[in-house]
Structure 1
Amino acid sequence: MSTPSKILVVGTVNGSLEVFVEKISKFNKKGGPFDFVLVSGDFPLDDQSIQTLKNKIPVSTLIISGNKNLPSSLEKKVDPIKGGEICDNLFYLGKSGIYVTSEGIKIAFLSGLPPPPNDSSDSKDNEQTETSCHFSIEDVDRLVEFSKKLTPSINYSDEEDYVPLIDILVTFPWPSHVQKHSAISTPSAPKNDSLILSDLCYKLKPRYYFASEENLFFEREPFSYKPHIKLGESTFHKDKTAKPLVHYTRFIGLGEFGSKTRWFYAMNMTPLHIINSQPKDLGTIPQNITECPFKLTSLKRKADDVNSMIFAEEKKSKSKVPPPNYVCKICNITGHFISDCPEKNNKEPIKKSIDDIKNECWFCLSNPDIQKHLIADIGENLYLVLPKGGLNCPRRPEFLLSSDSGNTSNGSGTVSSKFMVPGGGHVLVVPIDHITCPFDNVSISEDFKSGDQQSDLQPIVEEYHKYKDKITKLFDKYDCVPISIQFVRKNNFQHSFIPLIAFPKKLLPTLRDNFIQAGKKENIVWSNSLPSSESFGYYKCEIPDGKPPLIYHLDAKKRVDIQIGRKILAQALEIENGGDWKSCTLSHAEEKALKKSLASELRKI
């Protein structure tokens, strides 16, 4: 059975983000390391806080929206619907969807509050709606449908028993009636619970459900969706021959970070679909399990019926009159809300100048903060640099092809002697110009070339292959080959680079299968062909085993762990926590020594 993921879930985060990061860092050292942190409510963000957070968040942190929309300044960095990376180790999941971690944990998420009443005429309510975040019935329906397409499932004799094998569901509000059948009391009853979320929970049947709007800690007894199951028994498929299934939901309400109410919940988790494929590892149903608190009669109603009883449908498009002092932030004119502004779809997004982008880019040589001590060689169009926290191949006898090859000099007694090749074995090939498209193939580079990209790519591509040949010769002297991994997205403004990672020839025969098997767990189907120019992007791994590269065509609606390649290599090399670059960082002196040994070896080739 796979190693369980270590997860920390927290409630709404308000106040100082520096205090939050400091607290999470302590948690991670004392009870971790955690694979990720999941925030079940608002996470206050602005340009200043993002600058403060850069390179300081110790664990990959996933956030949703609670009762507030993303700041408009952030919408230039991430899509408010699809989500995206805000800064290193901080990822906004988006409006609704399912996020699959590299370990196979499936997280269903829904940002915002329930749909607001459509019959409210109070101007303050309308003004609040402009800045509040709300989900719609359509968002919920799409999430349910997506779960059926994305996740493996168990189908019983009727639709009520559909189990999409979701590990975690996270929303901001609580579901209605969740306290029913529970013997655990809370200081107060939920004030803003949602019947729509009760419906969603029943349809997704998550293993864990977290919510934090009520600012109450409530760890409810687990509840089952199959009332006829006897305690201590496992359930089976209707054909009686398939593998057994133990399934129930634990709902956990969390307090606000920093409050006197408990605001965190730590746990170890193995993906539900893996548990149910290992009969010998199945446990029994907990003795304190209760009936499902959600009534089937109410859940069978149509969404419109639910809306008519409790909530309105998603806010209608008809215009409302704002208060006299309200000024639209798009056109700076009174008389309408921002959502009704006629200029809403015509407003050109504010673009940073190329100088601003270069000054902030980690790879542009014009950036005064660039880590120059890591640069090993500078060519005409490209340069070679060691990454921070590189995945450096450890020097082990079992990685060598023969005892003789172990006699090859690699700086005995130096930091390089710990690794298979001089420099550690992880190098980045980076364009000197701020190029945002791939540069290993002219035709595909032109397809993904942005409109303002003026560089002639032919000499860049040619120089890349010269550098790659050099690195290949160097690695070959030490029984290694270079593995190339690329993550390419269309309309991406990040500085392109190609990592070349040393991998022992002795382990090469099984590496391709490692990628294929890991891809299956992530629902990744590998291809051998590059995508068309209309593609959203691709993820490519080149393994020098005489076979075509493994290519995954990216889907704009599906999230992919961009570190999956690194994690597969780290596992093969038996580097503990090697999938996280922060676990592989070296001292400044060690980095300089590795760069020096790499540069010295390159001059000999």
Structure 2
Amino acid sequence: MDSKIKILIVGDVRGRFRQLFQRVENINKKAGPFEMIFCVGEFFGTVEQNDELIAYKNGNKLVHVPTYILGPCSKETVHFYNDIENGEICVNLTYLGKRGLYTLTSGVKVAYLSGLEKVDGHNPIEEEKHMFFDKDDILSICNSCVVSKSSASDYKGVDILLTSQWPYGIHEDHKNASKMISFLCKEIKPRYHFCGLNSKYYEPSPFRIPSDQLTQLELCTRFISLAEVGNVAKEKYIYALSLTPVEKMRVLELIQKTTNETKCPFVGMNFPVFTGDDRQSECKQYFYDMKMGGDDNRKRSGGSGQRHEKRARIMNIDQEKCWFCLSSSDVEKHLVISIGDNFYLALAKGPINEFHVLIMSITHISSASLLSDDDWKELSKFKNTLRDFFQSYGQVVCFTERHYKSSHLQINALGIDEGYAWKIKHAFEDKAEEFNLQLETLPALTSSQMLPQQGPYFVAELPDKSTLITRQMKHFPLHFARDVFCSENLLNCEEKVDWKDCKLNKDEEIEMVKNFRKKFQKYDFTL
């Protein structure tokens, strides 16, 4: 099977949405299918131009290929991002965020950085902060790109780097160029680096980044600047890529040199804002500190008794303020029960009962429909383990996922007395009728491909492993699953529908986690 993935990269759109999506539709019919589109530079235009987007937002027109955009680069466009909720602008059109690493299900790794370099001494107002990046953003991307490796020598670079601003040194005209982006490119070693903003197509000869403490490989980068959509000079504004994910390439393919390579423009460049310690930062080992008391240290059974801590695999969108990314400073680590390679188990916030937990992805991914086969295997292992655990307590378990107004993958698992098992499907159907929703019944979920690959959805896996699913997500009730579980027909605790009404204090949460972990220990395959 061909392992090459087709992707489109687009320059500044500047509000020419109709022209872009019509062109993409034609290209996709002739040379597709393309897996997705990434837009660099300014996406929005004037208020009048942005009216073209209304037809796509209300569903009268469709964005046929999943499209991802970068953030604002000017005061004139920054306010257009204020009303974007959880990144979704409309179906198949998504704002990536300020910076991060996005891994496609195919394995292609895309690092991205929105906006312009923040100039020393410039203090933007709150609304304008989204259009500037600084040293911390650069180092965060560097760390995200390499933290999944068992050792620095495993690093092969990333497939694509997307920035709006140009790197300093790539052209003799240094106007509006950024040394921070030069540093980023040199450190993470992308195979392709795409930029916008300069209103011209520019593709110099590829350059090879020398080996360093991160890798012994001399990796090649191709820099490509794209023009604006619909530019008068008819310069190239859309670029088609067909590539094999770097992780699936042989080393010989990566180091094979071509005759037209030029010297790396960043060699010998002075980066005063980054210290020697910063240069080592991308080789950090990221561990999760699970200290909450003496018996919370994680150990491998049968081992030497030394503490074993799990390391993150940063492989998706690195949100700055995600409550659920395990590497985030905002995550409440005292709720964590168990950590696998790609997923972790945690107590639900405002639990319905003591057997209400969440399965969540360690790194930032928005839904189970985007999981790779390996990720799906581990998710299934968590589910089957929980089924066995709950059964030992005379309970069945129901799993639900709401991929709507929720930016991070969360799967609720609720243990219910097995005597009520027959009521669960009826409770879902009754509540669906109340909210005028149509639920489709599917067999057991065995693959992410069984879930909708585009757009929001809600899914519930019942104790008999049959599946209920709906894509009627316009005005979907956010508490729908809790409405079902707490209904008079099932658990009869309607006062618990809103999790905020069930919030526990931290000491109560710690105690509940401790008790669950103790009961779950003999089933926990991560130990």
Alignment of 1:69-108 (within 5 A): 72=79, 74-78=81-85, 84-108=87-111
Contact map agreement 2:210 2:218 (CA 8 A) in 1: no
Q: Indicate if the aligned counterparts of 1:9 and 1:37 stay in contact, CA closer than 8 A.
A: yes
Task: For 1:15 and 1:76, locate their aligned partners in 2 and report how far apart those are by CA, in whole Å.
Answer: 17
- Aligned mate of 2:203, from 212, 219, 236: 219
Cα pair 1:224 1:289 within 8 Å, conserved: yes
Structure-to-structure mapping, 1:59-458, within 5 angstroms: 59-68=65-74, 72=79, 74-78=81-85, 84-118=87-121, 130=128, 133-150=131-148, 155=153, 163=155, 165-179=157-171, 189-226=173-210, 247-259=219-231, 260=233, 261-276=235-250, 284-299=256-271, 301-303=272-274, 442-443=414-415
Equivalent-residue separation in structure 1 for 2:6 and 2:255 (angstroms): 19
Label 1:174 to 1:152 Cα distance change in 2 as closer, same or farther (>3 A): farther
Letter in 1 for 2:136: E
Change (3 A) 1:495 1:222: closer
Q: Cα distance 1:31–1:282, how it changes in 2: closer, same or farther (>3 A)?
A: same
Q: Distance in 2 between matches of 1:208 and 1:3?
A: 18
1:482 aligns with 2:456: no
1:496 counterpart = 2:488 = no
Question: Which SS does the other structure have where 1:496 is aligned?
Answer: strand
Residue 389 of structure 2: aligned partner: none
The amino acid of 1:253's aligned partner reads S
Q: Give the corresponding residue for 2:4.
A: 4
Q: 1:440 to 1:101 in 2, by over 3 A?
A: closer
Deviation at 1:15, TM superposition (A): 3.2
AA paired with 2:247? Answer: H
1:149 maps to amino acid: V
Q: Distance in 2 between matches of 1:222 and 1:271?
A: 18
What's the offset of the Cα at 1:295? 2.9
Alignment deviations for residues 426-464 of structure 1 (CA, whole Å, 9 cap, x no partner): xxx999xx99999996559xxxxxxxxxxxx99655545
- Give the secondary structure class of the aligned counterpart of 1:9: strand
The residue type paired with residue 268 of structure 1 is: S
Q: Are 2:25 and 1:53 aligned?
A: no
With over 3 angstroms needed to count, the CA separation of the structure-2 counterparts of 1:58 and 1:153, relative to structure 1, is farther
Q: Is the 1:438–1:496 contact (alpha carbons within 8 Å) kept by the matching residues of 2? A: no
Structure 1 position 68, deviation (Å):
3.7
* 8 Å CA contact retained: 1:40, 1:210: yes
8 Å CA contact 1:113, 1:173 repeated in 2: yes
Q: Return the alpha-carbon distance in structure 1 between the equivalents of residues 446 and 8 of structure 2.
A: 33
458 and 246 in structure 1: CA distance in 2 versus 1, 3 angstrom threshold = farther
SS in 1 for 2:136: helix
Q: Indicate if the aligned counterparts of 2:98 and 2:130 stay in contact, CA closer than 8 A.
A: no
- 8 Å CA contact retained: 1:154, 1:164: no
In structure 2, how many angstroms separate the alpha carbons of the residues matched to 1:20 and 1:463? 46
> Are 1:173 and 1:193, in contact at CA under 8 Å, matched by a contact in 2?
yes
The 1-side partners of 2:68 and 2:195 are apart by 14
Find the aligned partners of 1:91 and 1:274 in 2 and give their Cα distance. 27
Identity of aligned residues (%): 26
Q: Secondary structure at the match of 1:200?
A: helix
Partners of 2:168 and 2:412 in 1: how far apart? Answer: 54
Q: What's the offset of the Cα at 1:195? A: 1.1
The letter of the residue matching 1:19 is: Q
User: Residue 38 of structure 2 aligns with which residue?
Assistant: 38
Q: Could you tell me how far 1:49 is from its partner in structure 2? A: 5.0
Unaligned 5+ residue runs, structure 1? 121-125, 156-161, 181-188, 229-235, 239-244, 306-389, 391-428, 445-456, 468-473, 476-480, 488-493, 504-531, 536-548, 553-605
**1 CA distance for matches of 2:136 and 2:400?**
43
User: Alpha-carbon deviations, 1:259-301, whole Å to 9, x = none?
Assistant: 1221111110111121036x5x6673111111111133514x3
Partners in 2 of 1:111 and 1:435 — Cα distance? 22
Letter in 2 for 1:78: E
SS of match in other structure, 1:303 = coil
| Residue aligning to 2:19 | 19
Q: How much does 1:219 deviate?
A: 0.7
Q: How many angstroms does 1:221 deviate by? A: 0.8
- Which is greater in Rg? 1
Change (3 A) 1:482 1:137: same
**Cα separation, 1, equivalents of 2:405 and 2:30:** 42
Question: CA 1:297–1:179 in structure 2 vs 1: closer, same or farther (change >3 Å)?
Answer: closer
* In structure 2, distance between residues paired with 1:43 and 1:246: 34
Contact 1:246 1:284 in 2 (8 A): no
Q: Residues of 1 paired with 2:183 and 2:68: CA distance?
A: 24
Aligned equivalents of 1:216, 1:34: Cα separation in 2 = 24
CA change 1:72–1:191 in 2 (3 A) is: closer
CA distance in 1, matches of 2:33, 2:25: 9
* Corresponding letter in the other structure for 1:53: Y
Change beyond 3 A, Cα 1:220–1:151 = farther
1:325-369 deviations in Å (ceiling 9; x for gaps): xxxxxxxxxxxxxxxxxxxxxxxxxxxxxxxxxxxxxxxxxxxxx
Deviation at 1:63, TM superposition (A): 0.8
Measure, in 2, the Cα distance between the counterparts of 1:163 and 1:127: 38
TM-score, with structure 1 as normaliser: 0.44
User: Residue 42 and residue 139 in structure 1: after superposition, are their counterparts in 2 closer, same or farther (change >3 A)?
Assistant: same
Q: Counterpart amino acid of 2:191? A: R
- Deviations along 1:559-583, one digit per CA (max 9) or x if unpaired, are xxxxxxxxxxxxxxxxxxxxxxxxx
- Cα distance in 2 between the residues matched to 1:459 and 1:435: 28
Secondary structure at 1:8 match in 2? strand
Cα distance in 1 for partners of 2:88, 2:524 equals 24
Q: 1:148–1:164: 8 Å Cα contact kept in structure 2?
A: no
How far is 1:166 from its partner? 0.9
1:484 Cα deviation after fit: 6.5
Cα distance in 2 for residues equivalent to 1:439 and 1:175: 40
What is the Cα deviation at residue 95 of structure 1? 0.7
> Cα offset for 1:60?
0.9
Give the AA of the match of 2:85.
V
1:145 to partner: Cα distance:
1.7
Asked if structure 1 preserves the Cα contact closer than 8 Å seen for 2:37 and 2:68, the reply is yes
| Counterpart secondary structure, 2:29 | helix
Q: Give the deviation of 1:247 after TM superposition.
A: 2.1
Cα contact 1:167–1:272 (8 A) shared by 2: yes
Coordinate RMSD, CA, aligned: 4.9
- Matched AA of 1:483: L
Structure 2 counterpart of 1:247, one-letter code: L
**Contact kept? 1:65, 1:133, Cα under 8 Å:** yes
In structure 2, what residue type is equivalent to 1:175?
Answer: P
Tell me how far apart the structure 1 counterparts of residues 270 and 405 of structure 2 sit (CA, whole Å): 55
Name stretches of at least 5 consecutive residues in structure 2 with no aligned partner: 277-368, 370-398, 432-440, 450-455, 466-502, 510-522
Q: Which amino acid aligns with 1:482?
A: A
* CA shift in 2, pair 1:200/1:441, >3 Å: closer
**Is the alpha carbon distance of 1:191 and 1:153 closer, same or farther for their aligned partners in structure 2, counting shifts above 3 Å?**
farther
CA offset at residue 31 of structure 1?
1.9
